[in-house]
Amino acid sequence: MKTSTRFRLSGKSRDSYLQLILEFPLASIRSDDHLTAAQRVIDQLLARGELDHGAATYLDALSDLVATYEDEQHPIAPATDADMLRHLIDAKGISQIQLSRDAGMPRSLISEVLAGKKPFSRQMIRRLAAYFGVDPRVLAGNI
């Protein structure tokens, strides 16, 4: 069955895309050595600054291949509630006491979350999201 697509490269964009394919073919990444080589190519392309359409298309495809390999071979565990809260506190440059006072939450509750003894409750998620100005779904990842 013949498949039709509207995606086309022409002129200099096509030339830059094909040159990159010749230098580092797009193929599923199968090893950490191949991953390292792909990351070097990505770094080189990003260092160029503005890319033409062909190079940008190539970079997108190579980035997708890298992401697929990393997701399969080097998965990253989701952040814990303690990690998320610690990051938000550090990013805002506040203390637990200030968070307690400003968000209207008991300091002991904040300490328990940071110690990993207690997960976020729905009420905490709403208050923290409003206080830090983040989408509540960012904090609800472990619910």
DSSP 55-109: HHHHHHHHHHHHHHHHHHHS--PPPPHHHHHHHHHHHHT--HHHHHHHHT--HHH
Per-position b or e across 29-60, b if 16+ CB within 10 A of its CB: beeeebbeebeebbeebeeeeebbebbebbbe
pLDDT at position 2: 58
The candidate with the shortest Cα–Cα distance to 119, out of 137, 141, 103, is: 141
Query: What token pair was written down for 107?
Result: 């300091």
What pLDDT is attached to residue 91?
Answer: 96
Domain ranges for the chain: 11-73, 81-139
Alpha-carbon distance 56 to 63, whole Å? 10
Are the CB atoms for 35 and 69 separated by under 8 Å? yes
Domain topology for 81-139: 434 Repressor (Amino-terminal Domain) (1.10.260)
The model's pLDDT over 105-132, given as tens digits with 9 standing for 90+, comes to: 999 999 999 999 999 999 999 999 999 9
pLDDT tens digit string along 5-42? 567 888 888 899 999 999 999 999 999 999 999 999 99
Relative orientation angle of helices 122-132 and 81-92, to the nearest 10 degrees = 20
Amino acid at 41: V
Using one digit for the tens of pLDDT, what is the confidence trace for 85-102? 999 999 999 999 999 999
Give the pLDDT score at 6.
Answer: 66
